[in-house]
Amino acid sequence: MFYEHPSFRGESPDPAKLEAAIVVLTPSESKRLIAKAIAILPEVKAAVAKGLLVIGWGTTTVYVAEEILGRPIPNKIDFASGVISEGELNANHPATKTIFPFVLQNGRPSELHQRAALRSFKPGDVFIKGANALDVNGDIAILIAAETGGSAYDAWYATSIRSGLFICPVGLEKLVPSVRDVANKCGIYRFKYSIGVPVSLITFSTAKVVTEIQAIQVLTGAHAYQVASGGIAGSEGAVTLVLEAEAQVLDRAFELVKSVKGEPPMPPPRQYGAPRAASMGYDPNRLREAVQQSDTAQKLTSQPRG
């Protein structure tokens, strides 16, 4: 479901006073914009002040971590787990997935592992995790290569069993016709061919979703409408939005958009978990085994975080 900020229920502006702007956001600019909004949500601020806040792996959530922690995170791609990169489904190699999920307990960094923290969730605690698909109903889906369900299982457990809150930052570039219609179309053992690591698709209808539209309204009060998607020359995946508001609010919203323009694109992983799909004959079994082998090898040579 889409996040509803308390301010969304205020009086509607006078249509005669509305002014408009049209803007374009690349995926990285959208990530930064959404992250700024997530950081000031009342539920997030309450969990930071008193409770547990967990920020799971992802190429959007790393921006959220920066905004909440108030500091830059070098090599942001090292905070990714699975990735869609250079035209293939793949994963960050364990050797380069060096930034662990962030756990804050009563506003202080905790050494708790993500799963341990989520197993002690209570109402009011917050888990922040991105998604790979979003539809107009606010349903989301996460691609998972792990047989145990990975972070999607963690999200389900923390929210459905422990009654925590799942907040999902996700850009409109990931809009699909219907999450529910494709919920059973994936599976790590289902495919005959795979351009990259085979994945399952885990769906959620109870996450509080924050896109560029909710972010702009949370941060400025302006309304945003998606009118186009895509582009070329670095604007692949970009979204084009029309902003509407009374003059002062529109000026504030436009300044906000300008402030995130030029956010650098996310680079590919320094090392992939699986070889290029063509080198493995597009065989999903071989690709899956390659990821498992790299993960096992890394566990044998490193000490897990406590």
**Hey, what are 290's tokens?**
């390659």
Q: Show Cβ contacts of residue 68 under 8 Å, excluding neighbours closer than 6 positions.
A: 38, 39, 44, 48, 53, 55, 102, 104
CA dist., res. 149 & res. 203, Å (int): 12
pLDDT at residue 152, as a whole number: 79
Per-residue pLDDT tens over the stretch 212-266? 999 999 999 999 999 999 999 999 999 999 999 999 999 999 999 999 999 999 9
Within 8 A by CB and 6+ apart from 188, the residues are: 145, 147, 198, 199, 200, 284, 288
**Domain ranges in the chain?**
28-211+276-301
Please name the residue that has the structure tokens 């009086």: 11
What does the alpha-carbon distance between residue 194 and residue 203 come to, in Å, rounded to a whole number? 21
218 phi/psi in degrees, rounded to 5: -60, -45
**Whether the Cβ atoms of residue 214 and residue 2 lie closer than 8 Å to each other:** yes
Q: pLDDT value at position 53?
A: 96
In DSSP notation, 145-199 reads --TT-HHHHHHHIIIIIT--EEEEE--GGGB-S-TGGGTTS--TTT-S--SBS--
Q: How far, in whole angstroms, is CA 226 from its chain's centroid?
A: 19
Rounded Cα gap, residues 163 and 125, in angstroms? 8
Q: Tokens 């509607």: give the residue.
A: 12
Please tell me the distance from the alpha carbon of residue 121 to that of residue 159, in angstroms, as a whole number. Answer: 8
Write down the architecture of domain 28-211+276-301 according to CATH: 3-Layer(aba) Sandwich (3.40)
| pLDDT for residue 304 | 43
pLDDT level of residue 298 (50, 70, 90 thresholds): low
Q: Between the CA atoms of 13, 15, 16 and 22, what dihedral angle is there, to the nearest 10 degrees?
A: 100
Residues 6+ apart with CB under 8 A from 108: none
Instruction: Compute CA distances 14 → 122, 247, 250, whole Å.
Output: 42, 12, 14
The dihedral through the CA atoms of 195, 278, 232, 211 has a sign that is: positive
> Cα separation of 33 and 63, whole Å?
9
**pLDDT at position 303 over 70:** no
Q: How far apart are CA 36 and CA 151, in angstroms?
A: 23
The residue-averaged pLDDT of 4-24 equals 84
Contacts of 12 (CB under 8 A, 6+ apart): none
Is residue 91 predicted with pLDDT exceeding 90? yes
Is residue 297 scored above 60 in pLDDT?
no
pLDDT band at 301 (very low <50, low <70, confident <90, very high): very low
pLDDT at 219: 97
φ, ψ for residue 69 (rounded to 5)? -80, -20
Helix or strand (DSSP H, E) at 102: strand 102-105
What is d(CA 35, CA 213) in angstroms, rounded to the nearest whole number?
A: 13
